[in-house]
Structure formats: C-alpha cells, structure tokens
Chains A and B, each alone.
Chain A
C-alpha cells in the first residue's frame, strides 16, 4: 500500500477516499441502515405481514410498473426533445431549453395540483378527454402523467451533451454510404448515445419510484387501484406504525437498489460494446 501510494502521481488518494466513505456513510448509509434496524425490531412474521398484504403488494406493482413505463416514455421523448434542442435552431429555442428544467425546480406539490386541475373532469384538458372516455385525474393514468412530468429533464439533460458531441459528419458519412434515416439512427446515432440514455432512464425511474408530492394529488389514492407505496408508508407513519412503515421502506430500498444495479450493469455493457474502444 505504502509503495504503491508513493508511486501514485495524483495526490491525496487516501484523504479523498476516506472523505468519500465518511460522507457516503453519514449522508446515505446511516439513515438507510436505520430503516433496516427499525424494521428489524419486529419479528419476522409481523415484518412479512406488513409487506405482503394485498393492498401493499398492489401498491408495489403500481409504483414500479408506472415508474418504469414513465421512464421508458421519457427515454423516447426525452431523446427526441434533446435531439431537437441540439440539432435545430428555431425561435425561442433558449426559452424551450430553460423550460426543460422547470420540473426540477417546481415544488412537486405545485406540479401535482396544477396537473390535477388541468386533467380533472372539469379542467382545461380533462373536459375534452372526459367525453372520449379517458379519465386521467384520480386514476393510474394520472400517476403516469405526473411521473412523466417530473422525469423528463433527467433524460434530456443527460442525453443533450452527448448529442452535442456527436458530429453531424457521422450522419452525413452514413448517408453517403447509402444508409437511410432509420439505419443512420439506430446504427450510427443511437449506439454512442445509449449509455447516456440509460443513465437518464435510470435517473427518471429512480425519481419516479420515490416521487410523492406530485402523485398524491392526481392519483386519487384509491386502495388497490391508485395508491402508491410512498403514500402507504406515510399512512403507516401517521398511524404510529413505525415498524410497518420501515418494513415497506426496506422492501422499496432493496427493490430499487437491485433495479438500479441492473440498469448500471446494462449501461456498463452498452459502454463496452458501443461507446468503447
């Protein structure tokens, strides 16, 4: 260790690593382990009971299902959005560019209330959708709308710089070699962008899973139908059922960790096979 440290060119490795670990522990690991410790104060049976009631299971499905769907939709449209911002000039481009960040800055409750007001049966958009039989507010569809809203900037902002680095000459080269637009997109443009797109997808997904403020207003929170897991945790806390709340939280933590880990693995693979070399 000493000899290798002596040979290192970049200084401060032990200090930097030590700092990183302490910081990670204080800010992330200690609170998270408190969740596990608290949930462990109950017996296995009551833990299992807390996390496996049909109402809770339904909420897992809803939360993860809608979050994945929202992240996937954001991946597609966020890529198009970023593409438009990078490749074209149009009046008001700077304003559009600035608007992308708005979901980052807006208090999520405000977003939730605004979306509910618009999509409710008597809202601006809701009154047109209602006659078509499409109900958005107070249904899982409403949750999807809210999660798409808050997740969009993650995809746009991670993909944008990579697209900016991608020379238009590559597309011209592909076209001169006879590739049509679709071939140019999936053979030339998409591979270098894919790792960033996956990162954006993962961030949007992670944010959606944990989202509370904007969802509870538009969701209607009908048990078994439109009740998200974070809301269940809050409900249990309000009933002073701390072990029950932490048990569900622990399940969410583990599930999210596994999913993010998988996405990371996918991203590493994409990096190796497409962006590498």
Chain B
C-alpha cells in the first residue's frame, strides 16, 4: 500500500517537530527515515500510524485520507524501539494477540490462530521459544517477536521505530540483514526510523534524510551518499572534512592554502564551504608551497582494510581537525611520523554556500568528522 503525507505540521509547545512535510512512500518499498535525534522522524512515523495527530496536513493511505482514522482502523503494524511486548503473555500469546482481539465474526478459530502463529514464529526463526515469556528472551529475539506480532494482523504497512536502537552492535548488524531479507520475501510497504546512517544506507530502498522537522533529501542510498543535496546531508552521511574559504581563480582559498576547483557556479570572491570525504583526500609529505592545506599528523591508525590518519591544522589551531583515509600501502609508502607537517590535497571537492542561519546552529552534528568506525559504507 502506498503512503502519502501531505503538508504535515506538528508542534509540541514552541518546538516545531514537523514543518510542512510532504512525502510519498511507494508500495512495497523499504524506506529509511534518517536524521539526528529530535529531527521529527519518530513523530512523523507516529502520525502515519495514528498514535499521534498532526496539527495540520493529511495522511493518505492508498490514496484515502486516513487523518481521522484511529490507529485500530489503519491496519498498520508498529514495532517499538523497546519492543513493547506484553510481559505477562508467552511469546505465542503475544503473537496471537492481534488475532484474538478481532471482533467475533472476523476472528479465526483457535486452530487457525495456532497455525498462523507458528507460521510467523517460523518466519522469525523462533518457533522453539513459543512458550517462553518475553523476559526470558534476548533483545534481538524480543524484537523479532515484536515484528512477528505486528505481522500477525496482516498490516498494510509496517512501521518500525528505531527497531534496532536498543541492541548491541553485532546483533544490530545481523537483524539489519535479516530485516532486509524479510522485506524481500514479504514486500510489504515498510518505513523505519533510525539515526544510524549506516543502517539506513544498508537496509533501505529509499532514504529520507530529515533535519529539524524538514526533509533535507529523498533518494536511493547511492544518491544521498554520492550526491548530497545539502551540507547537512553531506555531514550526516559519513565522515567529512570541512574547508571554509573563498572562491577565486578556480581555487578555494582557505587561509594561506588553496584547493583547485573544477567548474562551479560560484561568483569570484564568494564565500564557500568545501566538503571532502576522508577517502577523497591525499597527503603530500613536502610541506612547502601553497597547494593544498597545511596540516600536522596527529595519529596514524593503520589497522583494518584501510588506514586512517588524523590531522590537525599546521599550528594546532583549535577547531581544525582532518581525517584522511588511505590504502595501507600508501600509508606505508608515506612513512608518516606523529607531529610531521604535511599538506592535504583533495581529489574531489564539493562546494556549498554557507547557510545564512544563526551562528548557534552547527551545520554538522557533533562527531560527524570522526566517521563510522572505519566500517565503510
């Protein structure tokens, strides 16, 4: 079933959680709603589910206005971050709940319920645990049960609110892959909320990047990662190095250094922000000259498939921090020493105009320069 939200607005007191959001979720796709905490993604999900009502705008399910429909009538499966399993019921009874509360005429007989529940428990590979109570299960198992419970009522849409948020890293990765496989098998329109960009990029067909109650970009994982539409998206999806300077003579002048630019639409003399991913930077060991940016090696992390080099500004200026990702062979050839002065040269640079927003707002979430533990995206 397709979902359309149209001009959705939601306020909590003075805080604007959603600011005129319009989105289309096509049938059968798995869409990731990605953004930092407080960006409104969970609120949007809850409005689609009917657990929260919007101050303005409409929710269209299959083209029909469902804005006034109760969550009961919307036939949406909702999976909560903290599972929300019924503790006093066994796994079996939890999964059977949605079938047993149906009105008598629509309620399947007990044998049919039994068969359906076992079918679902097989699907989530937990049929052996049917008689356990939720407290006897691990977090990953609980979330799979919660998913089976949501699927039991044959929902038209599946909504998952940070489904893996409460799990540890290893289980998260497993469940992520498993959710993707499950979706490929069931093809039910699914939306899931996450603040983990890796999770969103790995699992989704489409990613919706949100920030401060607005949609920043909608696209495939490839599009949002390779062609970020805004500085925010660039910074949120993976590590990035930021160069603030002025455009002149096909170069971005940053302090005394300069970075060559290709064709760009910037007026000469205009201020610009240059974004470069760690793997798009190279290190030049000759510190002389003014091509590239002067920097000083702080740490070399030569483990994993690629090596990472952390650098500061040449004079250890505060607030300057760079990260470069190189092949291990390249790092070995450079033979870098801690404290060594080098120059950074980007292979590719993406320019954005500085945002005319108040100074209090940082365009990038904290830690975005540090990246994602070298797991690679």
A: residues with CB less than 8 A from B are 167, 169-170, 172-180, 183, 187-188, 191-192, 273-277
In the complex, are the beta carbons of B51 and A176 less than 8 A apart? yes
Query: For residues 53 through 92 of chain B, which have their beta carbon under 8 Å from a beta carbon of chain A?
Result: 70-72, 75-78, 80, 82, 84, 86-88, 90
* A176 (CB) vs chain B CBs: closest residue: B78
- With both chains docked as a complex, state the minimum distance between the C-beta of A140 and any C-beta of chain B, in angstroms: 38
- With both chains docked as a complex, state the minimum distance between the C-beta of B105 and any C-beta of chain A, in angstroms: 14
* B161 (CB) vs chain A CBs: closest residue: A169
9 more contacts with CB within 8 A, not counting A173-B78, A274-B88, are: A172-B78, A172-B80, A174-B86, A177-B150, A178-B102, A179-B97, A187-B97, A188-B86, A275-B88
B: residues with CB less than 8 A from A are 49-51, 70-72, 75-78, 80, 82, 84, 86-88, 90, 97-98, 101-102, 132-136, 146, 149-150, 152-153
Q: Give complex CA distance A172, B98 in Å.
A: 12
Name the prevailing secondary structure of the A interface residues.
Answer: helix
* B152 (CB) vs chain A CBs: closest residue: A177
In the complex, are the beta carbons of A277 and B136 less than 8 A apart? yes
Which of B51, B82, B90, B153 is most buried by chain A, counting CB atoms within 10 A of its CB? B51
Q: Give complex CA distance A277, B86 in Å.
A: 11
In the complex, are the beta carbons of A169 and B80 less than 8 A apart? yes
In the complex, are the beta carbons of B88 and A178 less than 8 A apart? no
Which residues of A are found within 8 Å of B80, using beta-carbon distances? 169, 172-173
Which residues of A are found within 8 Å of B134, using beta-carbon distances? 277
Q: Give complex CA distance A236, B377 in Å.
A: 88
* B131 (CB) vs chain A CBs: closest residue: A277
Which residues of A are found within 8 Å of B149, using beta-carbon distances? 173, 177
Which residues of A are found within 8 Å of B70, using beta-carbon distances? 175
Return the contact of B51 from the options A172, A187, A191, A275 (Cβ within 8 A).
A172
In the complex, are the beta carbons of B84 and A180 less than 8 A apart? no
In the complex, are the beta carbons of A187 and B101 less than 8 A apart? yes
- With both chains docked as a complex, state the minimum distance between the C-beta of B176 and any C-beta of chain A, in angstroms: 22
16 contacts between A and B (CB under 8 A): A172-B51, A173-B80, A176-B78, A176-B150, A177-B97, A177-B152, A177-B153, A178-B75, A178-B98, A179-B97, A179-B101, A180-B72, A183-B101, A187-B101, A274-B88, A277-B136
Q: Give complex CA distance A24, B102 in Å.
A: 52
